[in-house]
Structure 1
Amino acid sequence: MEHPLHGLDVVLVQTRFPENIGMAARACVNMGCGHISLVEPERWLRDKASPLATPKGQALLDGITVHDSLADAVADSALVIGTTARRGGWRQAMLSPERCAAEVAACLRQGGRVSLVFGPEDRGLDNAAITHCHRLVCIPTDPAASSLNLAQAVLIVLYACAAAMREADRREADRPEAGAAAGGEPHGPRNVPQPEAVEPASGKADAPGPLASAADQERLMAALRDMLLRIDYLHGDNPDYFLMPWRRLFGRAQLRRHEYDALMGMCRQVRRALERKEG
């Protein structure tokens, strides 16, 4: 049976305690997410995670994949969203859990894969990890007690994603053409204000080509970085920091593969022109 959040991968980076992995697995099965990836876990002991995953989470524990890098873990995803409690600096343009869920649902309904990335229990995602995330989500909490348990954070974000998928399915079923196709009148509530949730998805059949993967986007960022350094647009001691607005721009754009190909072609042509000029 396909999971309600099929295509969504929870990525846990440098987890310290296997018990937290077990609790995160329980949260995943509660919300219909079928896969967890681990990136450089400090300790991955299945027997320690198992009791906290409950019987329903055992199959998910069996399917866990372990990766040497975050880039490898998210390579196949079209959308990578990192979670953070901190703001400022590298952490700009935060999404609410609801807005995050809307973007996740839209991507999944277009056939794209999504990675939700959670950092270590004691410090969260560092700046190097943030660069691999197209978007960032922050769970609002009381400032006096802002720290969440890892599994709590997983549960909250996945709950929002599952709710957004259900809302998208309901809205799709309520479309007039859906009712006509079923041989009856469209049903469901009308003239009800909609929450900030899912944009109406056109579905896979109408999607103009596949989405570019995170690995594609990393190659594009490397080519763009090289081009911008050559023309002295990026400079200083920390060009990766000044490249972040471009990362966010392309992350929001949800590039299609043919758009990625066009941008890569542009970067190659600019590089060749500059090399001829320098030569």
Structure 2
Amino acid sequence: MYQKVCMENVAIVLHDTRIPENIGAAARAAANMGVGQVILSAPRNFDMERVLKVATHSASGLVEAMTVCNTLPEALGTFNWIVGTTARLGGTRRVNFSPADLATKLIPISSENRVAVLFGPEDRGLTNEDLQLCHDLVNIPAAGFSSLNLAQAVMVISYELFKARTREPKFYIPRLACRYELENMYEELQDTFNRIHYINHENPEQRLDKTRSFLSRYQLRSREVSLIRGFCRQVARYGEKCYQDGVTAGAAGGKKTQETR
């Protein structure tokens, strides 16, 4: 029996779009491939009438059910696995997958988890900061000019997800930690790094970026995120206890010195 991507658990997230017609065309492409949801993050010049005109009747239901969020973290908060799209390569943009390989990976993940495929604005794509919120990166190979039209890119990814099949024995991937849970964990890790002076204060983001990159390789579950956060809280408690013990010892030492005079 073939296994497929659960398209109902897949959402296309369009961040910082500039042209309403591009939203409509992207939604039409997503609807054609059975994508479950389209989410807009901080859209500019949003005009539902212009969006629907391009989406046509076939995608009107998907468009009318769109969620519009003010920020990218808000748009991605409830998703368990996030894939960022990028045309630019190199540096910190270590692309994990081609569209076909990505689709194969998402077959077991999508059965029990909500998956977001994130696309950036038409003129410049996603920033490095945006991509920090992603577990995987995907690049669409192209000859010559590497940047595709937004709707074209949505169609390529959605098509690969729709047609992906595998005969491999199914292995179970349970519900993973959502973006909100992960971001709270990273905040506590950063606070812990600061407390134990594990961060280069001239470039404080470098250590956390490497930590994000490392932990994103693993499919962290909610209980594993809770375990890491519990460790951070215990480090904070221990550090506070050591500080208070030092203050008490210092005060006692000062008092003893005065008494022996």
TM-score (norm 1): 0.80
CA distance in 2 between partners of 1:94 and 1:226 (Å): 29
Distance 1:94 1:43 in 2: 33
Which residue in 2 is equivalent to 1:136? 137
**One-letter amino acid of the structure 2 residue matched with residue 155 of structure 1:** M
AA aligned to 1:124 is G
Matched with 1:16 is: 18
Q: Which range moves more in the overlay, 247-256 or 261-270?
A: 247-256
Match in the other structure for 1:216: 181
Q: Which residue of 1 aligns with 2:204?
A: 239
What is the identity, as a one-letter code, of the residue corresponding to 2:34?
Answer: G
Once residues 73 and 105 of structure 1 are traced to their aligned partners in structure 2, the CA distance between those partners, rounded to angstroms, is 23
Q: Residues 146-194 of structure 1, C-alpha deviation per residue, up to 9 Å, x if partnerless?
A: 1200011111111121222xx14xx27xxxxxxxxxxxxxxxxxxxxxx
Select 1:274's aligned residue among 239, 242, 246. 239
Shift in Å at residue 239 of structure 1?
2.4
Verify the 8 A CA contact 1:25 1:60 in the aligned structure 2.
Answer: yes
> What is the DSSP-based 3-state SS (H/G/I as helix, E as strand, rest coil) of the residue aligned with 1:201?
coil
Asked if residue 122 in structure 1 is aligned to residue 113 in structure 2, the reply is no
Q: How far did 1:26 drift?
A: 0.9
Q: What code does the residue aligned with 2:206 have? A: Y
Describe the superposition over 1:122-154 as per-residue Cα deviations: whole angstroms up to 9, x where unpaired: 010112212211221111112x31120001111
Once the two structures are overlaid, the 10-residue window that deviates more, 44-53 or 144-153, is 44-53
Cα distance in 2 for residues equivalent to 1:44 and 1:224: 37
| Unpaired stretches in structure 2, ≥5 consecutive residues | 245-261
Contact 2:182 2:225 in 1 (8 A): yes
Q: Which residue of 2 aligns with 1:112?
A: 113
**What CA deviation, in whole Å up to 9, does each residue of 1:202-231 have, x standing for no partner?**
34xxx5x53111110111111112222322
Contact 1:79/1:104 (8 A) holds in 2:
no
Could you tell me which runs of 5 or more consecutive residues in structure 1 were left unpaired when the two chains were aligned: 173-199
Indicate the residue corresponding to 1:86 in structure 2: 88
CA distance in 1: counterparts of 2:210 and 2:127, whole angstroms: 17
Q: Is the 8 A contact 2:87 2:140 kept in 1?
A: yes
Q: CA RMSD in A?
A: 1.9
> Aligned equivalents of 1:78 and 1:95: distance in 2?
18
Aligned match of 2:100? 98
SS in 2 for 1:247: helix
Residues 214 and 201 (structure 1), Cα distance of their counterparts in 2 relative to 1, 3 Å cut:
farther
Q: Is the 8 A contact 2:7 2:162 kept in 1?
A: yes
Distance in 1, matches of 2:142 and 2:212, equals 27
Between the aligned partners of 1:246 and 1:32, the Cα distance in structure 2 is: 35
In structure 1, the residue matched to 2:251 is none
Deviations 1:94-135 (A, max 9, x none): 3221232223222112x1101111000001011221221122
> Match for residue 248 of structure 2?
none
Of the structure 1 ranges 238-247 and 82-91, higher mean CA displacement relative to structure 2 is found in: 238-247
Cα distance, 1:93 vs. partner?
4.2
In structure 2, the residue matched to 1:201 is 170
Residue of structure 1 equivalent to 2:66 = 64
Name the amino acid aligned to 1:202: F
Partners in 1 of 2:195 and 2:38 — Cα distance?
40
TM-score, reference length from structure 2: 0.85
Give the percent of matched residue pairs that are identical in Structure 1 and Structure 2.
Answer: 38
Q: Secondary structure at the match of 1:89?
A: coil
Large movers: runs of 4+ above 6 Å? none
